[in-house]
Amino acid sequence: MKSRSFELLDVTLRDGSHAMKHAFTVEQIRQTARGLDQAGIGYFEVSHGDGLGGSSLQYGLSKVQELQLIEAAADVCENSKVSVLLIPGIGIKEDLQDAVKAGAKMVRVATHVTEADVAAQHIALGRELGLKTVGFLMMAHMAPVEKVVEQAKLFESYGAEVVYVTDSAGYMLPQDVTEKIAALKQSIGCEIGFHGHNNLSMAMANTVAAVEAGATYIDGSLRALGAGSGNTQTEVMVAVLERLGFNTGVDLYKIMDVANEIVAKFMQRPQEITGSSLIMGYSGVYSSFLLHTQAAAQKFGVDERDILVELGRLKAVGGQEDLIYDVAQQIALARV
């Protein structure tokens, strides 16, 4: 085995919240968290799909208050640590302070790929609270390499210990990932991470490309449970990386058992590449828009693919969920 060290960060209990319509129960969180801990996962993320403070009419109301879920996860872990996502403008500093009291040990501060400057206070607070603090550049396909490097340097200057290239739309191809990760490797001193979505069936290939280019933090979700067509599949990723000769530190059989005996039983639908999620990847649309788009298509009697293509043309980004309904209505009116 190669000696290189990885952190495989599992996002089932955060990104999977999108696919679960934010309806995780305390018992589902506890069972999954316990399994991840026993399998050897270092960090896993727990929060609303849109991060701390995301439970709202715009983003979807959580069935159980997120601080209860964080506390339940932290309570059953002996070694694994709980991470939370914080999107400035959705979550506030007090949300992060409360998450720490509930047991969080890492924060990933997420911004649009061109807007790292809005996160300076949140990164500083993460470090002040003693958290592993990460900068998360969402929709990374929407910026050229030079802009990604510039924004990563901002995150690093604020105190981020890891900076992520995040393929929120599942749009990137392996050469795109290689180019961006390699550029960061040459330009910043902190560690580099990659978070992929599978809307074009590229998540695993992109993850391997990221690893080979120098990323040491890699995201996955059990059974690929996540927004759109889901994420790089954690249990498969462990197997692939070990086949490539890397020591992941994760027990393959145990992580498979968590996926198949726990997560598979509460999933609302299989994570597969449908026509709509394919269009999301093809058009570069934020993966968490999928369920909102399906609801808007049904409400206005239009093809959800038409909505997604138009959202892609408009270069819609996370936080513009209200635009989905405007687009659907405009498509419906144009057909009258």
Active site amino acids: 18
Q: How far apart are CA 67 and CA 7, in angstroms?
A: 24
Tokens read off for 280: 């999301």
Question: Are the C-beta atoms of 148 and 137 separated by less than 8 Å?
Answer: yes
Residues 6+ apart with CB under 8 A from 325: 296, 299, 300
Give helix 275-283 / helix 304-313 axis angle, nearest 10°: 10
Is 286 annotated as ligand-binding?
yes
Q: How far apart are CA 250 and CA 299, in angstroms?
A: 44
Is 197 annotated as ligand-binding?
yes
Task: Give the number of other Cβ atoms within 10 Å of residue 334's Cβ.
Answer: 9
Is 195 annotated as ligand-binding?
yes
Task: Give the number of other Cβ atoms within 10 Å of residue 174's Cβ.
Answer: 17
Burial class (CB in 10 A: 0-12, 13-18, 19+), 130: exposed
Tokens 């392996």, residue located: 174
User: What stretch of H or E contains 10?
Assistant: strand 7-10
Question: Are the C-beta atoms of 230 and 271 separated by less than 8 Å?
Answer: yes
Is 22 annotated as ligand-binding?
no
Q: What is the DSSP string of 216-248?
A: -EEEEBGGG-SSTT-B-BHHHHHHHHHHTTB--
Nearest Cα neighbor of 215 from 235, 239, 242, 196 is 196
3-class DSSP state of 165 = strand
Q: Residues annotated in the binding site for Mn(2+), as ranges?
A: 15, 195, 197
Binding-site residues, in ranges, read: 14-15, 168, 195, 197, 286
